[in-house]
Amino acid sequence: MRRVAEQLGWRPSTAARALSGEGAATVGFVLARPAHTLGVDSFFLQLVSGIQEVLAERHLGLLFQVAENVADECAVYRRWWAEHRVDGVLVVDPRADDPRPDLLDELGLPAVVIGGAPDERHPGLSTVWADDAGAMASVVDELTALGHRRIVHIAGLPGLAHTQRRIRTLRAEAERRGLAEVQSVTTDYSDSEAAAVTRRVLQGATPPTALVYDNDVMAVAGVAAASELGVSVPADLSVVAWEDSALCRIVKPWLSALSRDSVEFGSTAARELLALLDGGPARTVQVPVPRLIERDSTGPVRAG
Amino acid sequence: MRRVAEQLGWRPSTAARALSGEGAATVGFVLARPAHTLGVDSFFLQLVSGIQEVLAERHLGLLFQVAENVADECAVYRRWWAEHRVDGVLVVDPRADDPRPDLLDELGLPAVVIGGAPDERHPGLSTVWADDAGAMASVVDELTALGHRRIVHIAGLPGLAHTQRRIRTLRAEAERRGLAEVQSVTTDYSDSEAAAVTRRVLQGATPPTALVYDNDVMAVAGVAAASELGVSVPADLSVVAWEDSALCRIVKPWLSALSRDSVEFGSTAARELLALLDGGPARTVQVPVPRLIERDSTGPVRAG
């Protein structure tokens, strides 16, 4: 029967199950990051807030689990799906060599990948993503317009797809403009690694005149580390935070930041998953490009 | 059969269900707060991190749901328990007139209340709590030792039990010491309300010389608001944050803060719930009193 149905292209409607009360009425969310790093990531909190807003309207729960690594994350998906614990999953932190899309395809587990670039090899998965490359290019545009030629990008986790998109874009933009002293340094997203890298590059022979941080907490920590070295922002050093949060506006100077609506990003992803559960087709949805909001931490490069 | 069992004092072991694979292998967590306020609360993130660390060891999931209010939260518990979705729940934000303990008793849903004071009327519930009163008293001790007599406590949500414990303690300590100009002002925990209240009290006829904020984000916002008014910390104003996070150490001046291990708080609560599920008795566990860490935002009151 199942086989015949599949040959006819028929698929059981997970949505019908969920809505009739036969489904799990639950969406899964696994985070393969050390649990102690969650407490400082405002992006994830905002994302989860946005997801919740949409799920709450439909009385759907969010089943949340922290996994040690991606292999464990895959095991969680297998178990949840086998045990009918979830109707679908939201997948974060897409990686360069990512085993998850193949697995989700194999299981037939409805899924939305958050932050991934469009993936033609997995037409069954929905994707919600932002154009990190375009955003990075806009930052380089603005910094070079201010005269900066020595730029360091203090990036997040090296294995993540969006980290790699940002690094590749920075390199390409630098080459295109003939900027030899532009580089990315990856970190674990923590304030402590950001401060350490900031100190190291500012104490180098030809210190950068602009720093781009992959999150708000790192940018705030970086400004504090620079200040301890007597480096003044923005007079000696321009700083851009990737992620605009309350943090960027409660420190002095206020931080110039790439603003994206992470709550809305989460809501969009949740809505796409509900659309899949309602029997709709998988889609690739692009959210608006993060926009550079110039505040007080960016300025013209110091003459000489 | 069920009735006979109950008369014999027998109760089905939820733990046995969970461990044999018959249970939901899931712990529930409902937050009755507006979803958009989650993104700035480092306490909750750390708490959830600690919970996850313990649940992950046992391969238990955390079913998370945001509710509009406590009545909706109660409806979620009823539904989850009826549908065998959870083996137990972690309950946060205990309130003054709280309908949840009675409901949890009635359902027989294993539960740990996080942050509540010991509750003799509900011996079936476990409680994990911190001595907010003792912590507030230690802050008043320290501030009065520095000569402060005009203190404003910029508190969190007025309906929460721990907010009320802090407010009551502050009032009692002020009366005991004959301090007439000590008060608490409640807020929604946001940086914007904290900044507004800070501006208002600093522009009053007899401005306070010390401010105590109920979270880290409010304290950072308050220092920025004071600085805009030309009020210097700690020369003109001492500031204490209730909750020590990376934030307190990445702004200038570094904030004096009440430090509690919120990750461990979450782990303790999760372990207590697992103990209940394993058939253990309900217990009241007190975590260490938050400890005042003096950094650069507190100092002697300015002479005159």
**A106 and A196 in a common domain:** no
**A239 and A219 in a common domain:** yes
Query: Which tens digit of pLDDT belongs to each residue from B182-233?
Result: 999 999 888 889 999 999 999 999 999 999 999 988 999 999 899 989 999 9
Angle at A166 between CA A43 and CA A50, to 5 degrees: 20
Query: Which tens digit of pLDDT belongs to each residue from A75-120?
Result: 999 999 998 999 999 999 999 889 999 999 999 999 999 998 888 8
User: Is there a contact between A40 and B45 if contact means CB atoms under 8 Å apart?
Assistant: yes
Residue among A238, A215, A222, A210 at smallest CA distance from A297: A238
User: Is there a contact between B66 and A85 if contact means CB atoms under 8 Å apart?
Assistant: no
Sorting pLDDT into bands at 50, 70 and 90, what band is B262? confident
Sorting pLDDT into bands at 50, 70 and 90, what band is B166? very high
On whether residue A21 sits in a domain, the answer given is yes
B255 has a pLDDT exceeding 80:
yes
Residues of A in Cβ contact (< 8 Å) with B49: 35-36, 38-39, 66
pLDDT of residue A2: 42
On whether residue A230 sits in a domain, the answer given is yes
Q: What is the mean pLDDT of residues B160-171?
A: 94
Q: What is the mean pLDDT of residues B230-249?
A: 92
Minimum-distance CB partner of B38 among A49, A217, A250: A49
pLDDT of residue A36: 57
On whether residue A123 sits in a domain, the answer given is yes
Query: Which tens digit of pLDDT belongs to each residue from B35-61?
Result: 556 555 667 778 888 898 899 888 898
Query: Which tens digit of pLDDT belongs to each residue from B101-149?
Result: 999 999 999 999 999 888 889 999 999 999 999 999 999 999 999 999 9
pLDDT of residue B4: 45
How far apart are the CA of A65 and the nearest CA of chain B, in angstroms?
Answer: 5
Minimum-distance CB partner of B45 among A39, A62, A249: A39
On whether residue A300 sits in a domain, the answer given is no
Structural domain count, chain B: 2
pLDDT of residue B40: 59
Q: What is the mean pLDDT of residues A290-299?
A: 95
Average pLDDT, chain B: 88
What residue numbers bound the domain in which A38 lies? Answer: 2-130+261-288
Q: Looking at residue B276, which CATH number applies to its domain?
A: 3.40.50.2300
**A111 and A10 in a common domain:** yes
**B284 and B175 in a common domain:** no
Interface test with A, best of B45, B46, B191, B295 (most A CBs within 10 A): B45
Higher pLDDT, B198 or A50: B198
On whether residue B299 sits in a domain, the answer given is no
Residues B104 and B91: their CA atoms lie apart, in Å, by: 10
Mean pLDDT is lowest, of A86-90, A144-148, A248-252, B16-20, for B16-20
**Portion of chain A with pLDDT greater than 90, in percent:** 65
**B242 and B138 in a common domain:** yes
**A273 and A231 in a common domain:** no
- Tell me if ipTM is over 0.85: no
Sorting pLDDT into bands at 50, 70 and 90, what band is A6? very low
Our CA dihedral for B83, B88, B94, B96, rounded to 10 degrees, sits at 60
**A284 and A254 in a common domain:** no
Q: What is the mean pLDDT of residues A164-191?
A: 95
**A218 and A100 in a common domain:** no
B10 has a pLDDT exceeding 80:
no
On whether residue A140 sits in a domain, the answer given is yes
pLDDT of residue A247: 82
Sorting pLDDT into bands at 50, 70 and 90, what band is A9? very low
Query: Cβ of B106: how many Cβ atoms within 10 Å?
Result: 9
**A182 and A266 in a common domain:** no
**A224 and A238 in a common domain:** yes
On whether residue A304 sits in a domain, the answer given is no
A34 has a pLDDT exceeding 80:
no
Most confident of A42-56, A189-203, B37-51: A189-203
Residue B55 CA: distances (Å) to CA of B25, B48, B80, B273: 10, 10, 18, 10
**B225 and B109 in a common domain:** no
Q: What is the mean pLDDT of residues A114-134?
A: 90
B80 has a pLDDT exceeding 90:
yes
Sorting pLDDT into bands at 50, 70 and 90, what band is B267? very high
A293 has a pLDDT exceeding 90:
yes
Residues 6+ apart with CB under 8 A from A196: A225
SS3 letters across chain A: CHHHHHHCCCCCCHHHHHHCCCCCCEEEEEECCCHHHHHHCHHHHHHHHHHHHHHHHCCCEEEEEECCCHHHHHHHHHHHHHCCCCCEEEECCCECCCCHHHHHHHHCCCEEEECCCCCCCCCCCEEEECCHHHHHHHHHHHHHHCCCCCEEEEECCCCEHHHHHHHHHHHHHHHHHCCCCEEEEECCCCHHHHHHHHHHHHCCCCCCCEEEECCHHHHHHHHHHHHHCCCCCCCCCEEEEECCCHHHHHCCCCCEEEECCHHHHHHHHHHHHHHHHCCCCCCEEECCCCEEECCCCCCCCCCC
Sorting pLDDT into bands at 50, 70 and 90, what band is B1? very low
**A244 and A160 in a common domain:** yes
pLDDT of residue B191: 86
pLDDT of residue B22: 60
On whether residue B304 sits in a domain, the answer given is no
Query: Cβ of A141: how many Cβ atoms within 10 Å?
Result: 13
Helices (H), chain B: 2-7, 14-19, 42-57, 70-82, 100-107, 132-145, 161-177, 191-202, 216-228, 246-250, 262-277
Residues of A in Cβ contact (< 8 Å) with B250: 191, 217, 220-221, 224, 251
